[in-house]
Amino acid sequence: KNEVEQSPQNLTAQEGEFITINCSYSVGISALHWLQQHPGGGIVSLFMLSSGKKKHGRLIATINIQEKHSSLHITASHPRDSAVYICAAPNTGNQFYFGTGTSLTVIP
Amino acid sequence: NAGVMQNPRHLVRRRGQEARLRCSPVKGHSHVYWYRQLPEEGLKFMVYLQKENIIDESGMPKERFSAEFPKEGPSILRIQQVVRGDSAAYFCASSPVGADIQYFGAGTRLSVL
């Protein structure tokens, strides 16, 4: 079993739809990261959160430390949101455990 | 401020050659991490370095792979006698002391012919 599990693996949405990607982890962490990998392969760090909720534009990330669960939401999705979204949990040794990623395609 | 710089972006090698991947961390960051993303797979941790020290290399293959982060200059991931299975995207990330967040480079795509 992976330390970090994401769902769904693949997601196709119509432009404008509200999107949710889920992440569950089994390791003890101080913070959780959401990363975005563009079709060209580059990785961008979207959020680091240790409690509650963070919002950046149309992206919202929430975390429940007790339940070891985080969600990434995209409101009013757009084709340019098409990417792979990766949940990552650092362990005490500063390594990251990565989820396998959710491949999102937003259709115009 | 420049982010994490990796070069080259693309590297082609023939089987048996050596591959050297370079990573310049964000200015002032003393921690460097290397990750590998095999085709159709997720990111996997390889090694964690601080200046002149390897802190954790538990994700590194036992043979042919080595990494360094010298006092001056970039971090280097070195793969000797490359094989086709080494073809992957190699990402470097850096962080300042005491921080959880890591800043990723754009990656080096290694293709072994």
Residue to mutate among B46, B47, B102, with most A CBs inside 10 A, is B102
pLDDT computed for residue A84 by the predictor: 93
Q: Is the pLDDT of residue B98 over 60?
A: yes
- Environment class of B4 (CB within 10 Å of its CB; exposed 0-12, middle 13-18, buried 19+): buried
Q: What is the pLDDT of residues B8-47, one digit of tens each?
A: 999 999 999 999 999 999 998 999 999 998 887 778 889 9
pLDDT in the model for residue A30: 73
pLDDT at A54: 92
**What is the tens place of the pLDDT at every residue in B56-90?**
898 899 899 999 999 999 999 999 999 999 999 99
- Whether A93 and chain B come into contact, CB under 8 Å, resolves to yes
Cβ <8 Å between A43 and B56? no
Distance CA A16, CA A6 (A): 23
Q: Which of A31, A41, A45 sits opposite B103 (nearest CB)?
A: A45
Residue A74 CB neighbour total at 10 angstroms? 21
Nearest CB partner across the interface for B89, out of A33, A41, A94: A41
The answer to whether the Cβ–Cβ distance between B48 and A30 falls below 8 Å is: no
Quick one: pLDDT at residue A79?
Answer: 96
| Pairs of CB atoms within 8 A across A/B | 61
pLDDT in tens, chain A (108 residues): 678 899 999 999 999 999 999 999 887 777 888 999 887 777 888 888 888 999 989 999 999 988 999 999 999 999 999 999 999 887 666 667 888 899 999 999
Report whether the peptide linkage leading into residue B8 is cis, meaning its omega lies within 30 degrees of zero: yes
pLDDT score at A69? 93
| Residue whose C-alpha is closest to residue B48's, from B87, B97, B93, B80 | B93
* pLDDT score, position B100: 65
Task: Determine the pLDDT at residue A13.
Answer: 97
Between B45, B103, B107, which is nearest A96 by CB? Answer: B45
**Residues on B contacting A at a C-beta cutoff of 8 Å:** 31, 33, 35, 41-45, 48, 55-56, 58-59, 89, 91, 95, 100-104, 106-107, 109
**Alpha carbons within 13 A on the beta-carbon side of B59:** 21
**Apex A55 CA angle, B26 and A82, nearest 5:** 75
B40 contact partners, CB below 8 Å, separation of at least 6? none
